[in-house]
Amino acid sequence: MLIRLIRSAPIWFMLATHSVAGDWTTYGHDPARSGWASDESTLTTRNVASLRLQWKTRVNNQSFSLSALTPPVAATGIPTGNGPRTVVYVAGIGGTVFAIDAQTGDALWSRPLTSLAVPRRGGLQGTYLCPNGITATPVIDKGSNTLYVIAPDGSLYGLDLSNGKDKYGPVPFVAPFAKTWSLNLVDGIVYTTVSLGCGNGRSGVYAADVRHPQQPAVRVLFLSHAFTAGIWGRGGAIIGGGKIYGGTADGDTDPAAGDYSNTVVGASLKDMAVTDYFLPRNEEYINKNDLDLGSASPVWFTWKDRHLLAHGSKEGVVYLLDADRLGSADHSTPIFATPRLGNDAEECCAEPGIWGGLSTSRDDEGQTWLYVPVGGPPSTNAPHFPNTNGPATHGSIMAFKVVSDSRSRNPVLEPAWMSGDFQYPDPPVLANGVLFALANGENPDQRRDESRRTFDTHPAVLKALDAKTGRELFNSGAAMESWVHFSALAVADGRVFAVDHGSNVYCFGVADANPVLRTETTKFQRSDDQLSGSWIGRADRQDEILKIWIERAGFTAGLAFLAAAAGIWVAFKYQRRGA
């Protein structure tokens, strides 16, 4: 048994941000973004069928376009007025951070992050692509009792986990109202990635040394000379084996000149410099059809004595790479590549292909698994899966075993199972042989007007599957109120946490773990004028306010002109009489 435990202990666990059993301190659980709650012991394949909604809390946050709340993070043993508690943290697009008691759903504290800066509309600014709010999932440092979060104006804050008070910053970190992705934390350095050019923020990896609050230091690795080549994956900077990884979006590709579009990039943690990259051989095709590698986050993991990286994209292909030598000598040769798993239509913008992020775990027998969320129906050229679990019209989770090739001894991906239908699959998370994933219910068609994407949606559904077979063990049915865009789950202390577009935070737990205390709490009340007071609302209202000001100024000027004319006429009249 001890040997099994040693074999199943992931090397990335050494990179954990001072977490303990039951914590989910960062997006994807760990710096490598494995999605594996390797320390979870309550939830199992034997009891997960008894999952139920334990509470639902609506926080005081107004959604904007497709954005509402960041994916949750959670930590156990946080000191509160009620003693040590497990606490869930989410940040709202409007600029406020919320802390919720994981057992009761009660509000513990909320903290608005304010600034004198106000964004302007124009270009992508103020759209779903550049929503002018908090977009990066916060990260928890248990060692210093701190939650790090990027405010809408680009400042990095460190908030006390117990009360939300400032412990670090604010420190200027990224461009105001930039598009940032999930924070990562390793050895006292906070990392994020920037894409899209929102707020004139250049694409790249940004790092802030938070070890000395009175001597903050920020370093940047730009990946393009323009606003292209950004790392769009929800996981932000993926960290493993002393390196930072990410897949980039469309744009000019010239590694020699420092432009890394449509590329899997590897950079050194020590000096923030690109050390290696993988560029698919069909890069021109990918760029022409907008099938870039930025739609998903890779995952770093170990297999035998090797460090591996798996990555997928809108094209629907998964690349298995040597994390220590991306793309081999020519930068274009993966260890292994699957056939197309989905997206036979070769569409960029209606959710076919691979989105969100890949996940991995290791079972009790030491078998390494890779899990891939695929939007749309499976490709006609997809490999044969021994186990299928019904039609998958809108999307599915595809599971592979990482095994040794009989000839080369290199790792390859062996198809194991495909799930039933997910509309549409968000990144899976693993715990004790159970795979949890959301069918997010969004309208993914980016070819339509942005406002129309809030229609034709469906409430999100939490599903639990047997991680070895894909068999469905639990389905939340109508428990969730609305859909969600670009989100993820958290598993901590025997519970599963999720959010939706209605700014609700959900807690699911097994029936014999803790009693159901409430299914709705009103501790956080939505304010009717919350949006108008937020960053987004103020930006949206600028053009309207300017127009009103001009109209009023014009009206006032008109009155002044008429008054002056009347005065001149009266004076002229009396002058004639006097004459």
Dihedral (Cα; 18, 23, 28, 31), 10-degree rounding: 10
Strand pairing category for 296-297 and 356-357: parallel
d(CA 500, CA 576): 77
User: What was the pLDDT predicted at 512?
Assistant: 58
Cβ–Cβ < 8 Å for 441, 394: no
Cβ–Cβ < 8 Å for 195, 151: no
Cross-strand pairs, 260? 253
pTM value > 0.85: yes
Q: Give the CATH class of 2-531.
A: mainly beta
* Of residues 511 and 270, more confidently modeled: 270
Query: Would you say residue 354 has pLDDT above 90?
Result: yes
Predicted confidence (pLDDT) per residue in 404-425, tens digit: 999 999 999 999 999 999 999 9
* HSE-CB of 548 using CA atoms within 13 angstroms: 5
Q: What is the mean pLDDT of the chain?
A: 88
User: What was the pLDDT predicted at 559?
Assistant: 53
User: What was the pLDDT predicted at 227?
Assistant: 86
What Rg, from alpha-carbon coordinates, does the chain have? Answer: 26
Copy the structure tokens of residue 104: 């009761």
Query: Would you say residue 7 has pLDDT above 50?
Result: no
Give the mean pLDDT of 467-485. Answer: 98
Predicted confidence (pLDDT) per residue in 177-201, tens digit: 999 999 999 999 999 999 999 999 9
d(CA 426, CA 428): 6
Query: Would you say residue 235 has pLDDT above 90?
Result: yes
User: What was the pLDDT predicted at 578?
Assistant: 43
Question: What is the b/e burial string over 92-116, where b = at least 16 CB atoms within 10 angstroms of the residue's CB?
Answer: bbbbbbbbbbbbbbbbbbbbebeee
Give the mean pLDDT of 478-499. Answer: 97
d(CA 368, CA 402): 6
* Of residues 117 and 168, more confidently modeled: 168
User: What was the pLDDT predicted at 228?
Assistant: 86
Which of the residue ranges 135-139, 373-377, 487-491, 513-517 would you say has the lowest mean pLDDT?
Answer: 513-517
